[in-house]
Structure 1
Amino acid sequence: MPIAFWCVLIALFLPYLGTAIAKFSGGGFGPRQNHDPRTFLSGLEGYRKRAHYFQLNSFEVTPAFAIAVLVAYVVGNAEPATIDRLAIAWIASRVLYLAFYLTDLAILRSLAWFVGMGLIIGFFVISA
């Protein structure tokens, strides 16, 4: 299986890293909060709130990444190694995005987001 497909699998689970950080890193989440986790998440502060926002953003952008990878393979005009490199770079951009979000480095976070979106466009460009 191509590396890019493994990257799609990783991307599908990356949001849950944000979930884990938001819910479990500072304590306070337990069986009672599990009855209404959205209310619990809406009351978070600091890095835990930003981890939750990472989760939400990841659920928004991951489908675009997955589709871009599939389009690149279906069209077949791009070298598989190039697709794999773009996919690895996209995962790296998301990990950086999370790190910058958690540490509240807003400009770098936005830059990492733009890089990730540029990479998604890149899948289509190399397929054309």
Structure 2
Amino acid sequence: MPIAFWCVLIAIFLPYVGTSIAKFTGGGFGPRQNHDPRTFLATLEGYRKRANAFQMNSFEVTPAFAAAAIIAYVVNNAEPATIDRLAIAWVTSRLLYLIFYIADLALLRSLVWFAGMALIIAIFVVSA
């Protein structure tokens, strides 16, 4: 299986890193909160709130990345190694995005978000 497909699998599970940080660090989440976890997440502040925002943003952007990676292999116009490198770079950008989001480094967070979007475009472009 291509490395890019493994990156898609990683991308699918990355949002849960954010939600785990939001729910399980700092305490407060337990069986009662599990009855209505969205209400609990809406009350968070600081890095936990930002971790939850990472989760939501990840659910928004992951389908575009997955589509780009899969389509790139389907059309078979690009060198597989190039697609794999771009996919690895995208996952790396998302990990940096998480780190910068939690650390409240807004400018760096925005820059790596734009880099991630540019990588999605690049995957499409090299496959055209």
TM-score (norm 1): 0.99
* Partners of 1:74 and 1:36 in 2: CA distance: 41
Equivalence for 2:103: 103
Task: Specify the alignment match of 2:94 in structure 1.
Answer: 94
Which secondary structure state, in structure 2, belongs to the residue aligned with residue 13 of structure 1? helix
Q: Which amino acid aligns with 1:23?
A: K
| Counterparts of 2:122 and 2:71, CA distance in 1 | 11
How much identity, in percent, do the aligned residues show?
Answer: 79
**Superposition RMSD in Å:** 0.4
Counterparts in 2 of 1:112-127, with a 5 A limit?
112-127=112-127
**Partner Cα separation in structure 1 for residue 93 and residue 15 of structure 2:** 14
Query: Aligned to 2:27, what secondary structure does the other structure show?
Result: coil
1:77 — aligned with what?
77
| Distance in 2 (alpha carbons) for counterparts of 1:117 and 1:110 | 11
Deviation sequence 1:67-126 (CA, Å, 0-9, x none): 000111011110000000000000000000000000000000000000000000001100
Which runs of 5 or more structure 1 residues have no equivalent in the other structure? none
Indicate yes or no: 2:13 matched with 1:41.
no
Q: Which AA in structure 2 matches 1:19?
A: T
What does residue 14 of structure 2 align with? Answer: 14
User: Take 1:35 and 1:71, find their aligned partners in 2: how far apart are those partners?
Assistant: 39
| Aligned partner letter, 2:29 | F
Could you state the TM-score of these two structures normalised by the residue count of structure 2?
0.99
In the alignment of these two chains, the number of paired residues is 128
After TM superposition, the runs of 4+ consecutive aligned structure 1 residues lying more than 6 A away are: none
- The CA deviation string for residues 6-45 of structure 1, in whole angstroms up to 9 with x for no partner, is 0000000000000100000111000000001011000000
Q: Deviations over 1:50-70 (max 9, x none)?
A: 000000000000000000001
Letter of the aligned partner of 2:42 in structure 1? Answer: S
- What letter is aligned with 2:59? F
Residue 51 of structure 1 corresponds to 51
